[in-house]
Amino acid sequence: MLRKSRILIIVTSAMIIYLFSALFTPENEDDIPMTMYQLKQKPIFKDRIVFGSCGPNCTVEFTPRESRTRAKLHKWEMDRIPNSYPFLVPIGAKLYVNKDSFINYSNDIPDILKSDLKYYKEHKKYQHLDERFAVKLGRKARQKVLTRLFKAWAIFADSKEIPYWVMHGSLLGWYWGGKTMSFDDDIDIQIHANTLYELSRSPNETFGKYLFEINPHFRIRTPQKQNKIDARFIDTRNGYFIDITGVSLINDTIACKTPHSYQIDDIFPLVRTSFEGVPAWRPNNFEKILKQEYKSWNVPRHVNYCNGGNVDIPLEALSVQQPLIQPNEPLEPKYTLSKTSELVETAKALQKNKEEQVQEKQNKYEFHRREIQHESKPLPKYQSSFTLAGCGPDCETKFTIQPKENVDLSKWELKENPVDYPYKIGLVSTLTPSKLSLDQSPRNLKRNKDSKFFREAPKHQHLDARFGVFLPKNQSLNAIHDLFRAWAEFSDMVEIPYWIMHGTLLGWYWGGKTMPFDDDMDIQVLSNNLFDLEQYHDTLIFGKYLLEVNPNHVVRVKQARNVIDARFIDMDNGHFIDITGVSNVRGRIMCKSPHIYSYDALFPLVRTTYEGVPTWRPNKVLQLLNKEYKNKNTYKNYRFNDQTGNWDKVASSKPKKEFSQEKPQKATKTVLGKEVFKEPFTFAKYPEFNYTLTFTPKQPTSTSLGLTELEKITPDYPYNVKPGTLLYAEESSLAVIWTVDTDLANQLQQDKAFFNEKSVGIPIGAELTELFRAFAIWADALQFPYWISRETLAGMHFGSRALPWSKKLTVHTHANVFYQLLNIPSLKMGDLEVQLNPHFVIRTNQSNNAIDAKFVNTTSGVSIEIRGVSNIDGQVKDKSGSPYTFSDIFPLVRTSFEGIPTWRPNNYKALLDVDAPWWKAGQFRSYKYHSSLQAWIGVPLHS
């Protein structure tokens, strides 16, 4: 009886708590009443807006008005502005425009625009992805990307007070649920065409990771087949975009270039609404527009989905789904070569469809708290002395900053602040907290329940359990760099000092950057400053980073499950920075691990650089490292190379070495395997064509290889070719030796793609490096002549490793060697296979068959492109049309790539000018090469 009474009391209490919470708690955190934070939102669209750059006597005026009558909202429309949204326009506000403003004032249009040459390039298979940045995502990941994309656009447009409105499929999605439909994969909006003149002052403007790009054809206002889209807002991380079309006055109606035409009353006044949970504009008479564009717009079914407002239910019984990619039809060519049957059978056998390789983000975290963006005008930080008082009454932390002179910088430390870093604090400045600042706060507890707060991914302890996505090594290191830069800027913005420690400090000592075998970062703060960080707990920072403070940080004694006091987390991939507090506990300065330090070992903090970013380090680095780590420069089969500032992978551990400023000892030279490319040799001989392909190697008298090129044989490589060896060939060997009959030529010149390119934009990292090693060994075993090219050649120039954004590796060879490959039995070796494209016999330009062969791992689908070079009409070029000079290619030079011996062209910089002209600037897309670090790092987040 007593037990039943207890159960009844518990159930009754739970019901009371639930009823009270339902009564006094808003439905979601975006509905929180106006707060002081929200009062900081900038009111926009309050006064008349004028755009006057469209020409003489041309202005576009918009007049905002608040609606006197409250419009009936759809259930998914917000009735107030979210606290996290930086601009304030009342929901239901209206925006009017004068019809005369739609007159087209385009004059002096260049002839090149009248020719309707296509400006935007989409991926050939996925038409809703930009060709330059394409990454194909699954449905759930795509919808999250589109939501984030539209929010970025809304903030970008509102910051410039650009009136726009959702249209086409996006307007239909707004009607059926207030968001992008799950079967739609882009977003459509419209703007006033004459406002594009104002925006064209910055035609390629960046907004964080997004690119706003204006099509110069926007000046043509008559329909154009290839240039219907006037502008795009593109996510450079994956290629998804927002299509932006302008409307202007054509035959007394306003129309875009599609052409869709409307009455002005259909569009204006615009009405403030919400889309994807973000304030936006919609057209006035949306029902008429949808009825005009979609026959069954108000029937809750589209394609093969039934939409009930928030849930999409596939109607699989309605139709049989067709596969996304159909297998290529087999070719039945009849070659005029003696090996016709072998080539046809090889082509049929090699034709396979591979599974699409896509990484979907597992981010299921619902975020509705406040958000912090970069300061528009950064202010000077860390004045001569400052105080933080978040730790409670009668508790504060005091810091003093002053310059320090006569400090010897490591060669990887920057001598001055990077020009793109927003906070200018003198490098080698020192920052000293008072000793009293380390005393515990009155708010600290002596003991608390040690229930674990932070959760890591089960198979990867350095990834957050909610957001963790395993990345290849190159991508992981770049994500860690961006994460650290974001933390450095945030901490400098809010003036909360910190210093690098543990593995991060070890990485600073050995090269000034994250070690390749480390995959997290460690920093420390004064434990009292954790109270100052608490005000930013659960805050979204710079659009993608989350700061969380462990409530157990108030306990300053050892806790086995709550050693970490706070974390700075990348919500895109789960990488994080561990933040631990340091305080004076019973006369000992310690963290909760516990590591125990002396005051002089930590302070004063010294301003330095890490990952090319200004940061703070402790005072006595060597003392701290010798105490925490075994004294050696070899870790986990990596050895530090003092000449390059990089960690080289080694076969076995090397002798221990004390931490010092001396250069590490060089590895002894080890040579394994047999010598190849030593004497002149004939790779192929075709009596029927009276043709012989001969190469002549020449040993180098002196080496002119760069630091990043291999100067000795890699210990575990099975073939021995002295670095710098030259490989000569005759220019006449590039002549095309065969002819193709007319029927076959007509069939192959249709240029139907042979290779089935399913994997889009997925860098493979270590798998690609291992495949290249297998290819190099296979080629050296056959004395197969080739040279690295395109982005792979650029990677050799910048550090002799794959570029961080590389999706593939590319090599070139003589086109005539493909015929000889038919006589080689080792085209298939376990999981490895050489796949020949039958189109190699066609030596004219072919955009869909420019790749003549591939070296493929049939299990993972990772491949190396092999392109042939031949003499076509007196020019040396491949089938993509890239023109080269024979003397720029030959003699080939023995070098290395990713630590693997290989061949490069003679004058490789001339070839880079053709295939990768960006190499001179050292900047490509969102990456910039830092020579001091010898590494590519991302463009700053605030740029």
Per-residue pLDDT tens for 799-836?
888 887 777 899 999 888 887 776 665 567 777 888 88
Q: Which is more confident, 460 or 905?
A: 905
Query: Does position 362 have pLDDT exceeding 50, yes or no?
Result: no
End-to-end CA separation in angstroms for the chain? 69
Query: Does position 522 have pLDDT exceeding 80, yes or no?
Result: yes
Given this model, what pLDDT does residue 922 score?
85
Given this model, what pLDDT does residue 340 score?
41
The answer to whether the Cα torsion of 755, 473, 538, 420 is positive or negative is negative
Query: Does position 521 have pLDDT exceeding 70, yes or no?
Result: yes
For the segment 590-600, the average pLDDT, to the nearest whole number, is 88
Please state the length of the chain: 943
What's the whole-number average pLDDT of the chain? 75
Given this model, what pLDDT does residue 395 score?
84
Q: Which residues contact 314 (CB under 8 A, 6 or more apart)?
A: 304, 305
For the segment 15-32, the average pLDDT, to the nearest whole number, is 38
b or e along 904-931 (b: 16 or more beta carbons within 10 Å of the residue's beta carbon)? Answer: bbbbbeebbeebbeebeeeebebbbbbe
Q: Which is more confident, 374 or 619?
A: 619
Q: Phi first, then psi: what are they for 634, rounded to 5°?
A: -130, 125
Q: Phi first, then psi: what are they for 341, rounded to 5°?
A: -65, -40
- Cα–Cα dist 512/426, whole Å: 18
For the segment 641-670, the average pLDDT, to the nearest whole number, is 54
Given this model, what pLDDT does residue 322 score?
28
- Asked whether the bond before 718 is cis by omega within 30 degrees of 0, the reply is no
- Cα–Cα dist 473/6, whole Å: 56
Q: Which is more confident, 295 or 770?
A: 770
Asked if 179 contacts 173 with a C-beta cutoff of 8 angstroms, the reply is yes
Given this model, what pLDDT does residue 193 score?
85
pLDDT band at 401 (very low <50, low <70, confident <90, very high): confident
The answer to whether the Cα torsion of 184, 189, 193, 194 is positive or negative is negative
Q: Which of 178-182, 280-284, 766-770 has the lowest mean pLDDT?
A: 766-770
Given this model, what pLDDT does residue 75 score?
59
For the segment 926-934, the average pLDDT, to the nearest whole number, is 72
Maximum mean pLDDT: which of 26-30, 214-218, 361-365, 643-647: 214-218
Asked if 683 contacts 694 with a C-beta cutoff of 8 angstroms, the reply is yes
Given this model, what pLDDT does residue 102 score?
72
Given this model, what pLDDT does residue 189 score?
94
Which of 265, 508, 283 is CA-nearest to residue 409? 508
- Cα–Cα dist 857/352, whole Å: 12
Which of 343, 136, 168, 150 is CA-nearest to residue 234? 150
Given this model, what pLDDT does residue 12 score?
56
Return the SS3 of 819.
helix
- Cα–Cα dist 624/604, whole Å: 14
Instruction: Give the whole-number percent of the chain exceeding pLDDT 70.
Output: 72
Given this model, what pLDDT does residue 813 score?
93
- Cα–Cα dist 879/881, whole Å: 5
- Cα–Cα dist 610/608, whole Å: 7
Given this model, what pLDDT does residue 56 score?
53
Query: Does position 47 have pLDDT exceeding 80, yes or no?
Result: no
Given this model, what pLDDT does residue 902 score?
92
Given this model, what pLDDT does residue 928 score?
80
b or e along 775-799 (b: 16 or more beta carbons within 10 Å of the residue's beta carbon)? Answer: bbbbbbeebbbbbbbbbbbbbbbbb
Given this model, what pLDDT does residue 46 score?
63
Given this model, what pLDDT does residue 707 score?
43
Query: Does position 934 have pLDDT exceeding 80, yes or no?
Result: no
pLDDT band at 306 (very low <50, low <70, confident <90, very high): very low
- Cα–Cα dist 604/597, whole Å: 13
Q: Count other C-beta atoms under 10 Å from residue 652's C-beta.
A: 8
Given this model, what pLDDT does residue 72 score?
60
Maximum mean pLDDT: which of 129-138, 579-588, 919-928: 579-588
Which of 495, 255, 212 is CA-nearest to residue 380? 495
HEC profile of 376-419: CCCCCCCCCEEEECCCCCCCCEEEEEEECCCCCCCCCCCCCCCC
Q: Work out the burial of residue 321: count CB atoms within 10 Å of its CB; fewer than 13 is exposed, 13-18 middle, 19 or more buried.
A: exposed
Asked if 727 contacts 903 with a C-beta cutoff of 8 angstroms, the reply is yes
pLDDT band at 486 (very low <50, low <70, confident <90, very high): very high
Q: Which of 77-91, 565-579, 701-715, 858-872 has the lowest mean pLDDT?
A: 701-715
Given this model, what pLDDT does residue 456 score?
86
Q: Count other C-beta atoms under 10 Å from residue 354's C-beta.
A: 16
How does pLDDT run across 85-112, given as a tens digit for each residue? 888 777 788 888 877 777 665 556 666 6
Instruction: Give the whole-number percent of the chain exceeding pLDDT 90.
Output: 14
Given this model, what pLDDT does residue 615 score?
92
Q: Which of 651-655, 795-799, 803-807 has the lowest mean pLDDT?
A: 651-655
Dump strand ranges (E) for 726-778.
726-729
Distances (CA, A) of 698 to 574, 724, 806: 51, 9, 33
Q: Which is more confident, 282 or 305?
A: 282
For the segment 414-426, the average pLDDT, to the nearest whole number, is 79
Q: Indicate the pTM of the whole model.
A: 0.39
Q: Which is more confident, 389 or 887?
A: 887
Element (H, E) at 22: helix 2-24
For the segment 894-900, the average pLDDT, to the nearest whole number, is 86
Given this model, what pLDDT does residue 34 score?
30
Asked if 812 contacts 853 with a C-beta cutoff of 8 angstroms, the reply is no
Q: Phi first, then psi: what are they for 276, rounded to 5°?
A: 60, 30
Parallel, antiparallel, or unpaired: how do β-strands 576-585 and 521-526 relate?
parallel
The answer to whether the Cα torsion of 336, 341, 346, 351 is positive or negative is positive
Query: Does position 643 have pLDDT exceeding 80, yes or no?
Result: no
Q: Which is more confident, 533 or 251?
A: 533
pLDDT band at 311 (very low <50, low <70, confident <90, very high): very low
HEC profile of 695-710: EEEECCCCCCCCCCCC
Return the SS3 of 436.
helix
Q: Which two tokens stand for residue 312?
A: 């999409």
Cα 886–chain centre separation: 37
Q: Which of 163-172, 256-265, 618-627, 738-747 has the lowest mean pLDDT?
A: 738-747
Given this model, what pLDDT does residue 646 score?
78
Query: Does position 687 have pLDDT exceeding 80, yes or no?
Result: no
b or e along 17-34 (b: 16 or more beta carbons within 10 Å of the residue's beta carbon)? Answer: eeeeeeeeeeeeebeeee
Asked if 392 contacts 563 with a C-beta cutoff of 8 angstroms, the reply is no
Given this model, what pLDDT does residue 240 score?
93
Given this model, what pLDDT does residue 665 score?
39
Given this model, what pLDDT does residue 799 score?
80
pLDDT band at 651 (very low <50, low <70, confident <90, very high): low
How does pLDDT run across 169-185, given as a tens digit for each residue? 899 888 888 888 878 88
HEC profile of 567-591: EEEECCCCCEEEEEEEEEECCEEEC
Maximum mean pLDDT: which of 302-311, 451-460, 845-854: 845-854
For the segment 389-393, the average pLDDT, to the nearest whole number, is 78
Query: Does position 67 have pLDDT exceeding 60, yes or no?
Result: no
Q: Which of 185-199, 311-325, 560-574, 759-773 has the lowest mean pLDDT?
A: 311-325
Asked if 363 contacts 572 with a C-beta cutoff of 8 angstroms, the reply is yes
Query: Does position 710 have pLDDT exceeding 80, yes or no?
Result: no
Query: Does position 940 have pLDDT exceeding 50, yes or no?
Result: no
Which of 507, 444, 447, 391 is CA-nearest to residue 935? 507
For the segment 608-616, the average pLDDT, to the nearest whole number, is 89
Given this model, what pLDDT does residue 74 score?
65
Q: Which two tokens stand for residue 741?
A: 């009959």
